[in-house]
Amino acid sequence: MPAEHDGIAEAADVLRAGGLVAFPTETVYGLGANALDARAAARIFEAKARPSFDPLITHLADAADLPALVGVLPPTVAALAERFWPGPLTLIVDRPAVIPPIVTSGLDSMAVRVPDEASARALIRAAGVPVAAPSANRFGQLSPTRAEHVVRGLGAAVDVVLDGGPTRCGIESTIVDARGPQPVVLRLGALAVEDLVAAVGPVTIRPGSSGQPVAPGTLAAHYAPRTPLRLVRGAVPASDDGVRRGYLAFRAAPAADHAAVEVLSPAGDVTEAAARLFDALHRLDAAGVTEILAEPAPDEGVGRAVNDRLGRAAATWSPPPA
Ligand code: TXA
Ligand code: MG
C-alpha cells in the first residue's frame, strides 16, 4: 500500500526523484509525475495501464508559468487562461522542446492547466517542475473523486497519495483548443460551455470520436463502472424480475424498488450532480448489482458533461440482441 501523506514537501521530493504522487485537484484526483522526466512519465502509463497514444495533461502552479514554459501564447489561449485559471479548464498549446514527447504521446501539442486546489498548486510549486497528471484511475475505469478511490484502483503502483477529501467539481476539466480562429471544445467538463461562450464568443463542440480521437479521453468506452450501465429516460423498468439493479437518479428516487439508489441532486442542480457523479457510480459499482440504470441530467451547463460521461459509460455495454 502507498503511504498516506499530508506532507507536501515530501511528496514534492518524490516527484523530483521520478516517483508517482496522486493528489487532489478541484476536478478529480490526478496521478502526477515530473513532466520533464520521460522515465517518470512512462511510469504513469504503466501504473494506469494507459495506452501510449493517450497524452497526459501538464499541470502548472500558476498561469504566469505558462509563457515561461511555451513562449508567447495565441491571444484566445491567453484570454482563457487569464479568465479561468486556476480552474477546471485545460488548454492546448504547442509542446515545448523541454517536455519529452512521451508526455504528449508524440503530439506537437500539449494539454496544460492550473488546478484550483491550493494543495495541488503548493505541491507543484514545491516540486519546482511541471507535473504531468492524468486522472488517477486505471485506464477506462471511473475517475477518482476521493483518495480511497485512488488507493483501491491503483494501490501499490503509486508512491504517495495525498488525501484532500472529496473533490469539489467531481468531473474532469473541460479541454479547449483555442489556438485557431474559433475555440474547439475537445472534451466537455467541469467548466460549462456557457461560461466559455460568455468569455470568448462562439465555440465548436467536437463530438466524441471512437476513431482517431484528438482527445482519447473522448473514446466512447471510457469513464465506465465495471457493472453494465444503461441509460433510461422516462418510465423506469419494473424490478420484479429478480435482477438486482442499481439506479442513478438525477433529482428524485424512482418509484420502483431497486437494490441500490443514488440521487445526484435533490435540488435539481447540475453542478451538484456533477460533483457527485463518479462517487455515486463508485458506490453503485460496489453494491453488488447486475446492472445500473442511469437517468440523464438536464442538457445544460455542467449537465452536458454529466451526460457525456454517462453516455460513454453506457457505450461499454451492448444490450443482448432482441
Ligand atoms: O480534470 C482533469 O483534467 C484531470 C485532473 C487530474 O487535472 N485530468 C484528466 O486527465 O482528466 P486524463 O488523462 O484522464 O484526461 C486527459 C485528456 C485525455 O483524454 C487526453 O487525450 C487529452 O486530455 N489530451 C492530452 N493532451 C492532449 C493534446 N495535446 N491534444 C488533445 N487532447 C489531449
Ligand atoms: Mg482520465
Which of 7-21, 45-59, 91-105, 231-245 shows the lowest per-residue confidence on average (mean pLDDT)?
231-245
Q: Are strands 184-187 and 204-205 parallel, antiparallel or unpaired?
A: parallel
Q: Is 111 helix (H, G, I), strand (E, B) or coil?
A: strand
State yes or no: pLDDT of 48 exceeds 70.
yes
List, as one string, the DSSP characters of 266-305: TT--HHHHHHHHHHHHHHHHTTT-SEEEEPPPPSSTTHHH
Cβ of residue 134 lying under 6 Å from some atom of ligand 1? yes
Q: How far is the CA of 261 from the centre of ligand 1 (A)?
A: 31
Could you tell me if 19 and 40 are in contact, meaning their C-beta atoms sit under 8 angstroms apart?
yes
In b/e form, how buried is each residue of 121-135, taking b as 16+ CB within 10 angstroms? bbbbebbebbbbbbb
Instruction: Give pLDDT, residue 224.
Output: 80
* pLDDT for residue 317: 52
* Greater model confidence, 226 or 208: 226
Q: What is the pLDDT at residue 7?
A: 92
Residue whose CB lies within 8 A of the most ligand 1 atoms, among 31, 114, 175, for a mutation test: 175
Identify the nearest ligand to the CA of 222 by its number.
Answer: 2
Q: What is the pLDDT of residue 6?
A: 61
Task: Give the E-state strand segments of the chain in sequence order.
Answer: 3-5, 21-23, 30-34, 57-59, 89-94, 109-113, 131-132, 160-162, 174-177, 184-187, 204-205, 229-231, 245-249, 260-263, 291-294
Q: What is the distance between the alpha carbons of residues 207 and 51, in angstroms, rounded to a whole number?
A: 21
pLDDT: is 189 or 317 the higher one? 189
Environment class of 255 (CB within 10 Å of its CB; exposed 0-12, middle 13-18, buried 19+): exposed
The secondary structure of residue 225, as a DSSP letter, is -
- Predicted confidence at residue 1, as pLDDT, reads 46
Amino acid present at 122: A
Q: Which of 92-96, 208-212, 256-260, 262-266 has the weakest average pLDDT?
A: 208-212
* pLDDT reading at 262 higher than 60: yes
86: cis peptide before it, omega within 30°?
yes
* ipTM passes above 0.95: yes
Nearest CA to ligand 1 atom 13: 134
Cβ atoms of 184 and 177 within 8 Å: the answer is yes
Does the pLDDT at position 165 exceed 70? yes
For ligand 1, atom 19: residue with the closest CA: 217
Does 54 sit in the ligand 1 pocket, CB within 6 Å? yes
pLDDT at 210: 32
**Atom in ligand 1 nearest the alpha carbon of residue 54:** 21
pLDDT > 70 in the chain, percent: 89
- In degrees and rounded to multiples of 5, residue 14 shows phi and psi of -60, -45
Q: Highest mean pLDDT: which of 3-7, 89-93, 236-240?
A: 89-93
* 255 Cα to the center of ligand 2, angstroms: 34
Stretch 51-57: mean pLDDT: 94
Q: How far apart are CA 71 and CA 285, in angstroms?
A: 45
| pLDDT grade for 107, boundaries at 50, 70 and 90 | very high
Q: Which residues contact 41 (CB under 8 A, 6 or more apart)?
A: 33, 34, 35, 56, 100, 102, 103, 132
* Domains of the chain as residue ranges with CATH: 3-218 (3.90.870.10), 229-315 (3.40.50.11030)
Average pLDDT over the chain reads 91
Of the two residues 276 and 6, the one the predictor is more confident about is: 276
Residue 233: predicted pLDDT: 84
Q: How far apart are CA 5 and CA 23, in angstroms?
A: 10
Q: Of 12, 28, 38, 306, which Cα lies nearest the Cα of 154?
A: 28
C-alpha cell belonging to residue 99: 517536455
Distance in angstroms (rounded) separating the CA atoms of residues 236 and 172: 29
289 has pLDDT over 70 = yes
Give the Å distances, CA to CA, from 52 to 59, 139, 243: 19, 11, 39
Confidence label for 211 from pLDDT (cuts 50, 70 and 90): very low
Q: Which ligand is nearest to the CA of 137?
A: 2
Higher local confidence (pLDDT), 210 or 272? 272
pTM of the model: 0.91
Q: Is the pLDDT of residue 3 over 50?
A: no
C-alpha cell read off for 210: 471512437
Closest ligand 1 atom, CA of 56? 25
In contact, 202 and 182? CB cutoff 8 Å: yes
- Stretch 12-25: mean pLDDT: 98
Across residues 164-187, what is the average pLDDT?
96
Is 141 a pocket residue for ligand 1 (Cβ < 6 Å)? Answer: no
Given this model, what pLDDT does residue 208 score? 62
